Structure 1
Amino acid sequence: MFTEITIKAIGGLISLLIVIRLLGKKEISQVTPFDIVYLLVLGGFLEEGMYDKNVTIFHIAYTIFLWGLLIYIIEKITLKSEWFRKLLKGECTDLIRNGKVNIKALEKNKIEMEQLRILLRNQGYFSVSEIEHATLETNGALSVLPKVKETAVTAEMLDLNPPENEPTYLFVDEGEIKEKEVIRAGKTKEWLLAQLNKEGVADPGVVYYGEWSETRGFYFIYYEK
């Protein structure tokens, strides 16, 4: 019996490592609720079959690889389909924009003001008034852009009056225009195409990564030729 359990444990662990390796690397901070669920199920397959004599190591390995294959297919679909990615992993939401709290966004995401304050304190900010922009990411983390005067060395200390910080928007991702991000920034696709032409980008397909902000303009990473 102990020999069988040992074989199952070693075989199951190897199978899990192979599947996780094939599915790609992610930091804990990048793991979404969907990722956590399928990893828990993977571990459950191994646990359930460990002490069941009717379940062999081949059954465990097959189940793990089958589950891994299904998740791999889903991950590939999410890369190609924005609608499917939104369905499974959700989308980021601006909780604070231009220094103002978006109450509707808080209610939609079931977040109370005290929870928002906790998230801000985790980032080192103890007042909502310090924040210019805050975005709730799909993994539940909060990305914060402080007001200029709240940064470590402020322009106010140097008696300067620079423009306020502005968030960046991902306008072009792997050669595709992200129309929702364009709309989120208050722009149109026609405006973006005209601006890309001014920047010397006739075809968005050559851009691997293209971000834009009101104060800094465009920043591009091109596909290697």
Structure 2
Amino acid sequence: MPDWLQIVLRSLFFLVVLFLITKWLGKKQISQLSFFEYVTGITIGNVGAELATKVEGNIVHGVLSILVFALAPFLAGLISMKSKIFRDLVEGKATVFIKDGKIMEDNLKKEKYTTDELLWLLRSKDVFDLSTVEFALLEANGDFSVLLKKENQPLTPKDLNMTMPSVKEAQMVIMDGKILDEPLATIGLNRYWLKTELEKLGILLENVFLGQANSNGELTVDLYDDKLKVPSPQEKPLLLATLKKCQADLELFALSTDSPESKEMYSKNSKKLQKAIDDVAFILRN
């Protein structure tokens, strides 16, 4: 067998072997690597590449070597789940860079980070003012986490004592001009609703590249023709406008009537409707 053909076959073989081993080790092997997993991952790749191009190498010995290196992080993961001491040794521990708004210079030196690199890490988290940071640390896997001071954190509905409804994830309901029934059913919608929404937008199904629907019954579409503009949904603004008109009408009725009972009834319901509008206005505007 010619050498070039052997290399092709060996490469395909080890590609399959490495793929299966990576699948077996799990997604962590391609995302958040510890030092130990990083070293074994590189070694496995090097062994596979060496055996794929070295014609005289023994394939069986190569596969055995790869299995040993693959088994090591697997066993280390099992032990890590049982022992925190071993987990800290193998995976490492997070290092605090900023605590109570103060930079921990010794920890920076320990991890061999300069001040410029710390500022770069902060900017990567959209933090440009050091004085706004309460706490920051370098995770064991190399990620950087930042906690802003309370007064610099963005407002949330909870801060404003607002109750928000639970939101389900949006679902892709149209792909390449075809309706996906399972995602539609997941958010409690159907084909009739989808076709009705497309008619409101004046769009044909076959012209839609992607379509996404959320739990509020709003459809967002992307067309094959990028020159065409899709009108934005108007249901929420129309509903808010209708509620405001009803509330204004109740106030007008209260001013127009001469009956004390009717005036009280209109005023009372006008206030109730205004409270309801205040509760849902944030939702209807977004």
Matches within 5 A, 1:32-111: 32-111=34-113
Cα shift at 1:31: 2.1
**Higher relative CO (CA 8 A, sep ≥ 6), structure 1 or 2?**
1
RMSD of equivalent CA atoms: 2.3
Distance in 2 between the 1:133 and 1:41 partners? 36
User: Judging changes above 3 Å, is the alpha-carbon distance between structure 1 residues 29 and 61 closer, same or farther for their aligned structure 2 residues?
Assistant: closer
More helix by share: 2
Distance in 1 between the 2:153 and 2:64 partners? 53
Name which of structure 1's ranges 26-35 and 98-107 shifts more when overlaid on structure 2.
26-35
Give the counterpart of 2:132 among 127, 130, 133.
130
Identity %: 32
Name which of structure 1's ranges 87-96 and 27-36 shifts more when overlaid on structure 2.
27-36
Give the counterpart of 1:23 among 22, 25, 35.
25
Cα shift at 1:28: 5.5
Cα shift at 1:29: 5.3
For the pair shown, the structure with the greater C-alpha radius of gyration is 2
CA contact (8 A) 1:29 1:139 kept: no
CA contact (8 A) 1:19 1:68 kept: yes
More strand by share: 1
CA contact (8 A) 1:96 1:133 kept: yes
Distance in 2 between the 1:136 and 1:150 partners? 21
Q: TM-score, normalised by structure 2?
A: 0.50
CA contact (8 A) 1:11 1:57 kept: no
CA contact (8 A) 2:96 2:136 kept: yes
CA contact (8 A) 2:37 2:73 kept: no
Cα shift at 1:102: 2.0
CA contact (8 A) 1:94 1:102 kept: yes
Matches within 5 A, 1:146-185: 146-153=148-155
Other-structure match for 1:3: 5
Determine if the alignment matches structure 1 residue 121 to structure 2 residue 123.
Answer: yes
Distance in 2 between the 1:2 and 1:27 partners? 31
Letter in structure 1 aligned against 2:12: I
| 1:172-216 deviation digits (Å, cap 9, x = unpaired) | xxxxxxxxxxxxxxxxxxxxxxxxxxxxxxxxxxxxxxxxxxxxx
| 1:122-145 deviation digits (Å, cap 9, x = unpaired) | 101112111111121001221001
Name which of structure 1's ranges 73-82 and 26-35 shifts more when overlaid on structure 2.
26-35
What count of residue pairs does the alignment treat as equivalent? Answer: 156
Q: Which runs of 4+ in 1 moved over 4 A?
A: none
CA contact (8 A) 1:96 1:134 kept: yes
Distance in 1 between the 2:143 and 2:40 partners? 20
Name which of structure 1's ranges 1-10 and 40-49 shifts more when overlaid on structure 2.
1-10
Letter in structure 2 aligned against 1:132: E
Cα shift at 1:119: 0.5
User: Judging changes above 3 Å, is the alpha-carbon distance between structure 1 residues 88 and 43 closer, same or farther for their aligned structure 2 residues?
Assistant: same
Distance in 2 between the 1:60 and 1:42 partners? 10
Cα shift at 1:32: 2.8
Structure 1 unaligned regions, length at least 5: 159-225
Structure 2 unaligned regions, length at least 5: 161-286
CA contact (8 A) 2:99 2:136 kept: yes
Cα shift at 1:153: 4.2
Cα shift at 1:82: 1.5
Distance in 2 between the 1:31 and 1:67 partners? 15
Cα shift at 1:41: 0.6
User: Judging changes above 3 Å, is the alpha-carbon distance between structure 1 residues 60 and 18 closer, same or farther for their aligned structure 2 residues?
Assistant: same
